[in-house]
Structure 1
């Protein structure tokens, strides 16, 4: 599922053979045949066309105003939802990327012009899905390396456009990229109420299409909030959302499951339990991973993800699924906040919060202070004028997670389900980045803004929650069970490309499975990269054909 366009000095321009044109007289903007009609609108004013892809809360009248007056700089965050806005004029095409990077935009330049699309996998079909070896090598070295070059995708000769920017493509195919967004710190005395309003708008925008929805119901704050908001709205019209709680076979009580059960009793929620077996554990069936724009975040746990989505679709007819992904990044305060407090003249509060965070994590003050003054390296924040360390860490983590979540969406589409991640919506990202240091809770406090925002809907036990569940034991268990298969898997594409020594990696696998190494990243990064590379070899090629002669940008 993708959209994109062409700008070419020559005639005719190219398009994917599976593409359909948005208008009969415009062969330079197209979308895949399976793009949902409810998430595509086009309005025209004289020679200017405005097209919106993705869930968007704008009315037709508001889009008509934009078409008449021209798109303002803040158009990507003006309405609820995660959407990309495209403005076509006779001499140029302009594309506004969303703030949460939920719809990343990619560019491939040819000798005759420029192709752009919402899928790097689609554009990479032009070059035989050739991976960018430097990007893969950087990923294997660590998460910071994987994001060291913002514009570099996982495919050779395919560049990505940053979030919160505008891509302009002239008629002859030349391009330029400009930043359109700057987070502004703003004190709000009613922040929980504003957060609640934005969450409701994000969910209601997804409900407007009238399709049957499902939602994760894990027992955590984030998925529960979405399920409760959707249930309240759907209940008014006699409908419900399917709340799905996955659990180990034979275990339905304890920990998060008790929170999920209590939330699942609320009106408008049809609560279903999906048992998982050892076959659905992390690192299972890695040879069945589907191709995507990049190694998906859920690559090593794709067995359970795809089982859940296929079950929701086939057994319950749900084709749209909401996840709580991104909520942690959006609503948790980073340790860099401690240095922000010192810089803003609140040193004693910084000392207090350091002590609380050390106590919560059962670590030393020194370790917490060290993390605060030495935040994880990242490059994305350098594109934006940010005032605080918390903002910089937010941008480097949350926005990157928004982009990578698109790859999970591609896995879901193979299951016949459209995946939505409302916590990456532009307005929610902008809101949470605008909170000044003196208004932020300390890192040790667990999402107090969410608890206050949802006080009337959250079950009382859930609202008092101070921690979240830990999936690491499941991953270590799945890794131990899959060791023989993983040893065989890792003698493959990475080795062929000179990026992996499988004999040496065997030692890393065994030490991690035994618990000698506590960090799962080296194993997860390598296994997901290998499975992704193998998926590319199985992915069918895309034919590109000349578009009919007509309008060109």
Structure 2
């Protein structure tokens, strides 16, 4: 639930219905998101979100100028807000794992952890351009950087210090996080330290927490760390299809539980055909933006309700985000070429080509081209590609600043124009992280997209009475990984070697030797077939009303996908996700803002 405030402390400021105002402050709190404060000379400090700082360290923040690294100094997912006479200063975390938003309101600025609440305050509409980018270009977060799904509501840049003046003048942002490579410290030891601290923080807040245990590297590592951080056995949960008890993922989960008998209490949750993807999309609860788990919300909410009611879970850990921070993107080859590591570039390209069953030549050709191409030039080329629908040369090796964009046939001219405008704006904006290695810069965009959207899944969990945490997306963890020098980064084709090395003494040998993970693709196709009648009746109506999709063509594509015709499901699933979210927004009551009363003030 959200926390927010204003850039002025004048009386009579509104707050959301049900929220509690903090005395002598414009800040308010709705729900259980932790907020700690400290009073200094002429200013007040708020630490918003779970943070590993001690109470004394929070008090110290008010006694001295806030340092640029404050939001990744301690484990946790938090922001630091300075409230003063001349305005409010907001320090955001570098991963964007606790996104903060702002909107102009009656000559001042309102800030909040929820864009939807600010949208209600500012009488915002749904942003058609942002929706077009979400549906047609989900792998290009650069097109919508800083933009939310509500007009006039903006996300404050992650890893920055933003001054919100009390008189509503334009705010100023200063980038405070720039992941310069850190020499000397071994990458796997930095990862181990950061991830261990991130899990321990959650265990200290709620020793009776639970964790996913899917059998993969990421959830297994988190579960083991949580088990080692608590006195009572950790409740670890593995979901599986009903009647199938010998799957590979389940086998690996059992191996881990057997290795930690007495420390891990293993629970199996069978799921039936009632929990297939695409089921009951008109029943998705309202969230700040389309949730990654929208299409599987029935499965997720069944798991969460079951854990809450059966296990008494209040806090749950996942391994989400691990793939984003632990795998190298193909742009890594371009870094090797640019730094004249030709022998290593050739060896890694060959290993990647073998793994992907693709020719090695295009990989090296595109790596060399990317090494010569600045990011801004790639954005300018993207504008041309979107405007004309063609590119000079297809990136067959998939090594580039941005992935190729096969715009679906059901995209309308209106939605294509939205993409072009977004790309032009992105190309015109200066890059606050220019100068980073290409692979690091690509990962920053990906991680921030994953971290921000994960908040919507956490909202779904909160509706089931559970706080959802993703330790891999902790800013301390993200910072530790992205500061790895080129020579310490894992090979492109390797399966999370730094994680294995970091936790080789705690991961069972069978897990350490694993090189693949389970897939749910077949589950998605069967779910699509089962839900097709409902989808053909309701899916796409909201997007079509904004002129973003050609509804007959879109539904024809749904039919083709349901019968198993080969086609990528990514844009179809993004469209269904966005449309389901729009349905929830249109049917849920908007947040109401009211004037505070003495009963709503926290003394």
Into which bin does the TM-score normalised by the smaller protein fall? over 0.9
Matches within 5 A, 1:155-234: 155-174=150-169, 175-188=171-184, 190-234=186-230
User: In 2 relative to 1, CA 137–146 (structure 1 residues): closer, same or farther, beyond 3 Å?
Assistant: farther
Segments of structure 2 that go 5 or more residues without pairing to the other structure are 367-396, 404-422
Q: Contact 1:489–1:530 at 8 Å: present in 2 too?
A: no
RMSD: 2.1
Q: Contact 1:219–1:260 at 8 Å: present in 2 too?
A: yes
Query: Deviations 1:2-60 (Å, cap 9, x if unpaired)?
Result: 101013596522211221123x222x00110x224xx3211222332211111111111
TM value normalised by structure 2: 0.86
* 1:84 pairs with one of 65, 79, 87: 79
Between the aligned partners of 2:582 and 2:553, the Cα distance in structure 1 is: 20
Between the aligned partners of 2:315 and 2:67, the Cα distance in structure 1 is: 31
Q: Contact 1:3–1:118 at 8 Å: present in 2 too?
A: yes
Report the alpha carbon displacement of residue 363 of structure 1 after superposing the two structures with TM: 2.0
TM value normalised by structure 1: 0.94
Tell me the matched-pair count. 543
Matches within 5 A, 1:22-421: 22=22, 24-26=23-25, 28-32=26-30, 34-36=31-33, 39-126=34-121, 130-144=125-139, 147-174=142-169, 175-188=171-184, 190-234=186-230, 237=231, 239-265=232-258, 266=260, 267-369=262-364, 370=366, 371=397, 373-376=399-402, 382-421=431-470
Q: Contact 1:106–1:160 at 8 Å: present in 2 too?
A: yes
Matches within 5 A, 1:458-469: 458-469=507-518
* 2:549 pairs with one of 497, 500, 524: 500
Matches within 5 A, 1:509-520: 509-520=558-569
Between the aligned partners of 2:449 and 2:273, the Cα distance in structure 1 is: 31
Q: Contact 1:182–1:385 at 8 Å: present in 2 too?
A: no
Between the aligned partners of 2:333 and 2:274, the Cα distance in structure 1 is: 43
Q: Contact 1:106–1:118 at 8 Å: present in 2 too?
A: yes
**Which is worse superposed, 245-254 or 45-54?**
45-54
User: In 2 relative to 1, CA 518–368 (structure 1 residues): closer, same or farther, beyond 3 Å?
Assistant: farther
Report the alpha carbon displacement of residue 495 of structure 1 after superposing the two structures with TM: 2.1
Query: Deviations 1:59-114 (Å, cap 9, x if unpaired)?
Result: 11212221101211111111111111111122221111111111111111123322
Q: Contact 1:56–1:82 at 8 Å: present in 2 too?
A: yes
Q: Contact 1:381–1:395 at 8 Å: present in 2 too?
A: no
Report the alpha carbon displacement of residue 147 of structure 1 after superposing the two structures with TM: 4.1
Between the aligned partners of 1:376 and 1:111, the Cα distance in structure 2 is: 39
Segments of structure 1 that go 5 or more residues without pairing to the other structure are none
Between the aligned partners of 1:143 and 1:136, the Cα distance in structure 2 is: 10
User: In 2 relative to 1, CA 344–158 (structure 1 residues): closer, same or farther, beyond 3 Å?
Assistant: same
Between the aligned partners of 2:481 and 2:492, the Cα distance in structure 1 is: 15
Between the aligned partners of 1:393 and 1:381, the Cα distance in structure 2 is: 16
Between the aligned partners of 1:9 and 1:424, the Cα distance in structure 2 is: 33
Report the alpha carbon displacement of residue 123 of structure 1 after superposing the two structures with TM: 1.2
Q: Contact 2:6–2:88 at 8 Å: present in 1 too?
A: no
User: In 2 relative to 1, CA 19–173 (structure 1 residues): closer, same or farther, beyond 3 Å?
Assistant: farther
1:490 matches 2:509: no
1:541 matches 2:590: yes
